[in-house]
Amino acid sequence: MIHGSSRDVGDELSMATPPLTFLDRLTRLNVNRLFTARSTHQFYWELTEAIVESDVMDLSGNRRQQQKIPKKIVIGIGAGKNYTLYDVGSDKTQFLQAGYQSKNGVKGFA
């Protein structure tokens, strides 16, 4: 788990970000969970387990490669009166707003 981006401090990840960009950021950082606040929006984006296939052509010929990708998640934690609780033990995320009480009594960190 890491907070931020591998590109630069201005990297704004949001629900409009293409899935391959999310995969790039998660892969570069070698993490399964990435938390971001740059977009100021709350969101939960999940890449289920997948296989990425690539074809590489070099001087020795063509090579096909498959890489198994485990479940990966990008979480937009929001801003202002919105906050996010993440429970490491259960891998659950809860989006809340200041002034409203959680009904589930979920423990985590924001």
Helices assigned H by DSSP within the chain: 19-29
The strand pair at 50-58 and 61-69 is best described as: antiparallel
The beta-strand segments (E) located in the chain are: 2-3, 33-36, 42-47, 50-58, 61-69, 72-77, 82-87, 92-97
Give the start-to-end residue ranges of the domains of the chain.
Answer: 2-97
Using CA atoms of 18, 20, 23, 29 in order, give the dihedral in degrees to the nearest 10: -90
pLDDT class of 3 with cuts at 50, 70, 90: low
Q: Which pLDDT score is estimated for 60?
A: 87
Section 49-59 average pLDDT: 88
Higher pLDDT, 31 or 1: 31
pLDDT tens digits, 65-89: 998 989 999 999 888 888 899 998 9
Model confidence at 17: pLDDT above 70: yes
Average pLDDT value for the chain:
83
Record the pTM.
0.72
